[in-house]
Amino acid sequence: MSDFPFSIVGFDLDGTLVDSALDLAPAVNHALVAAGREQVSLDTTRSLIGGGARRMLERALEVTGGPVAMSHFDELHELLLEHYTANIAANTLPYPGCLDALDVLTGHGCKVAVVTNKSEVLARLLLGQLGLTERFASIVGGDTLGRERAKPAPDLIHETVARCGGGSFAMVGDSTFDVLAARNAGVPVVALSFGYHDVPPGELGADVLVDHFDDLVEALAALG
């Protein structure tokens, strides 16, 4: 019997398990061009990610001239999603060491799960195209329970624990959405120093900050 302290480890998706900015950036810029706006750089796109596609587009519009009418926004959002869905795994890859860390956690008897604010349909599409779906005991998205219950609300974490049959849980993520969701759920959280941060990594407020997936399992073990 493993003495690992957690029976379930939940992972954010974009900026945590996978580096998806190379596919999100063209989708954002597709919408911005349709809005008559300047395109944004890859680095800028990384700072826009978090909270789902609508929030990402809202930020992109904010930094390129300000908001648009809601009817126009909805059209742009659809354009973004269409472009992204058609190219969702063109360049996206798991971060170095990610798959090895998942294997080690599974070897410890942990169930690993995806807890993302990306829509569940897009999360499952991306994981399926990357051949990763079967690794996860549960996949919940920002719309699985309704957007008002997405991170930083604790609901997706509670749902994940229930779907995994209960047990001790730790969260792994890269943004305040992940850290605050964990805090609101009363569970430990590890943040990654890479990924897509909405504040500097050291200000996320996680229990532990790690620089590489090679350090993740040891960091989780220490939290027990």
Catalytic residue IDs: 12
CA end-to-end span of the chain: 16
- Angle (CA) 172-175-180 rounded to 5° is 80
Q: What span, in angstroms and rounded, lies between the C-alpha atoms of 14 and 21?
A: 8
- Angle (CA) 180-185-186 rounded to 5° is 95
Query: For residue 8, what are the contacts with CB-CB under 8 A and spacing of at least 6?
Result: 110, 111, 112, 113, 137, 160, 161, 164, 167, 168, 169, 170
What is the phi/psi pair of residue 19, to 5°? Answer: -95, 95
